[in-house]
Structure 1
Amino acid sequence: MKLAANISLLYRELPMLERIGAAARDGFDGVEILFPYDLDPAALRRALSDAALPLVLINTPLGAAGEPGLAAVPDQRAAFRDGLQRALDIAVATGCPTLHTMAGRPPADADPTRRLAVLVDNLRWAAPLARAAGVVLTLEALNRHDVPGYAYHQPSEAVDVLRQLGGDDVRLQFDLYHVAREGLDLTRELEAARPWIRHVQVADAPARSAPDLSKPAVRQAFEALLAWPYRSWVGFEYNPGGGTAASLGWREPLRQLIASRSATA
């Protein structure tokens, strides 16, 4: 597995572009940025090159009023498509391979069949554009406590959409924090979603703080990933509290877990 720092949350004590070098110095293999749309793509590309780190994940833009995406929102098709193209332009400019396609909050009174049809239609439009750009789209279930009314709150709901789409252009982004906030068993959900997973993210629940590998559920989830073995990215998307350096205590337990798994492989 490869470890990415989500520098929209980590290293906030530094200007955004300087966070990339800080992540490299702390041993991360790559970085995630939630919404890089205020950054100059050329400057971002230089900062990535200087640090010898890839940008591995970005999100599609928020809606004009701060909505968490638009892919499943009726009457927002044009805005979604404009935002998707903006995101692909950034992804191509920076070599970012994965784009979290945010679905948003459909109206509460919208017919469920219509909501699904809007989402699937938008994703079917977006998928070939992403493929041509060398980018894979992802769907991420966001928990109902933090993002009430989101199009899907649990990984199984996002997988239902992926089943309807078929193909490999749209995959699952599995966030242990959101799954825990939904009260679900992390390892059981990981195993059920395994064929669909493109990208994993982690934070401790319920505070979205640094992951705690002394918690059996968190440790077992990492053990499952290592046993597969999962070879793609794990993004550390958490609030560091008193500063990023002080929040990195999870690294040594994770290194030990990886080493123990390697020794028994």
Structure 2
Amino acid sequence: MSGASRAPALAAGDAPLRLAANLDWLYGALPADDRLAAAAADGFAGVEMFAPYAHEPAWYAGALRRHGLQLVLINTPFRPNSPGRLGWAAIPGAQAEFRETFAQARAVAEATGCRRIHVMAGHCEGHRPDACQQALRQNLAHALAAAQADGMTLTLEPLNRADMPGYLYHLPSQVIAILREFDSPHLRLQFDCYHCAREGLDLGAELAQARGWIGHVQIGGAPERFEPDLSQGGLLQAVRELPAAGYHSWLGCEYRPRGTPAEGLSWCAPLRAEGVIA
């Protein structure tokens, strides 16, 4: 690689990104109770959990402490085979379900010290778009009051249409429009490189547009969702540019390993060598 294409070193005071293991994607073949131990053994300091609701919040807090791990992201609960199979926030008439499930997420966050909750909007096919948008804004107003009181960040994530047809939004620009309305530091974009790639978006352009709005970042290789291939789709440059876009936190590994998760982490070697990833 020529020197002309290399990103500048991190600015003074900029912290490198840290990798977080998505337990469901990286360690989904293991029993749920073994996943934290496996992530710690592979050197992760942070983890994401889709749905930490099978046990009481105190159970997760204790397990995280035992393994020296930080929980960095959870989803609001979703219920398969129901109208809330992709969340409740934008489902018209489901305010009670949203408040109940958000309270579950808030309890886990409080017990574990998790500072980010992904608010899942929902599968909106069959509902009027304006009714879904209205429901989302009403429910976000309720959730934001709690997030502000707790010092937490709520995130909204656009999901690509190939994998998640019918989800409320699939483009970062659609989420940013909502963020602008609320203009709250407690409501941010969950930027997923995989979903952007599956939508055929230019990662560099999307990052430029999202500058200042990003609250969490995830990565995976498109289209198979294996380990990222940094030579494809501008992915290497996109991750390099995250600090310049104002993001200095966790990079969620949300992909399916081809082999073992530890072996698969070789994808990030160039970024570690540059100091972009710790």
Q: Give the alignment's TM-score, normalised by structure 2.
A: 0.87
Please say if residues 226 and 258 of structure 1, whose CA atoms lie closer than 8 Å, have aligned partners that are also in contact.
no
- Provide the residue aligned with 2:200 in structure 1: 183
- Corresponding residue pairs, total: 260
Identity of aligned residues (%): 47
- Structure 1 CA distance for aligned equivalents of residues 177 and 165 of structure 2: 19
- Structure 2 CA distance for aligned equivalents of residues 86 and 109 of structure 1: 25
Counterparts of residues 39-188 of structure 1 (less than 5 Å): 39-63=55-79, 65-66=81-82, 67-110=85-128, 112-188=129-205
The structure whose residues are more often helix, as a share, is 1
- Structure 1 CA distance for aligned equivalents of residues 45 and 211 of structure 2: 22
Where does structure 1 lack aligned partners over 5 or more consecutive residues?
Answer: none
- Structure 1 CA distance for aligned equivalents of residues 59 and 79 of structure 2: 25
Q: Which amino acid letter does the alignment assign opposite residue 65 of structure 2?
A: S
Please say if residues 257 and 264 of structure 2, whose CA atoms lie closer than 8 Å, have aligned partners that are also in contact.
yes
SS in 2 for 1:5: strand
Distance 1:247 1:83, change over 3 A: same
The answer as to 2:19 corresponding to 1:3 is yes
- Structure 1 CA distance for aligned equivalents of residues 199 and 52 of structure 2: 28
Per-residue deviation, 1:45: 1.4
- Structure 2 CA distance for aligned equivalents of residues 30 and 239 of structure 1: 17
- Provide the residue aligned with 1:220 in structure 2: 237
- Structure 2 CA distance for aligned equivalents of residues 229 and 70 of structure 1: 30
- Structure 1 CA distance for aligned equivalents of residues 80 and 269 of structure 2: 42
- Structure 2 CA distance for aligned equivalents of residues 204 and 255 of structure 1: 18
Counterparts of residues 25-36 of structure 1 (less than 5 Å): 25-36=41-52
Please say if residues 63 and 70 of structure 1, whose CA atoms lie closer than 8 Å, have aligned partners that are also in contact.
no
Distance 1:133 1:229, change over 3 A: closer
Per-residue deviation, 1:82: 0.6
Q: Which amino acid letter does the alignment assign opposite residue 110 of structure 2?
A: V
- Structure 1 CA distance for aligned equivalents of residues 227 and 35 of structure 2: 17
Distance 1:123 1:229, change over 3 A: closer
Aligned with 2:218 (options 181, 189, 201): 201
Q: Which amino acid letter does the alignment assign opposite residue 179 of structure 2?
A: L
Runs ≥4 residues deviating over 6 A: none
Aligned with 2:38 (options 11, 17, 22): 22
Per-residue deviation, 1:228: 4.4
Please say if residues 186 and 221 of structure 1, whose CA atoms lie closer than 8 Å, have aligned partners that are also in contact.
yes
Distance 1:238 1:64, change over 3 A: closer
- Structure 2 CA distance for aligned equivalents of residues 82 and 184 of structure 1: 35
Where does structure 2 lack aligned partners over 5 or more consecutive residues?
Answer: 1-16
Aligned with 2:274 (options 254, 257, 264): 257
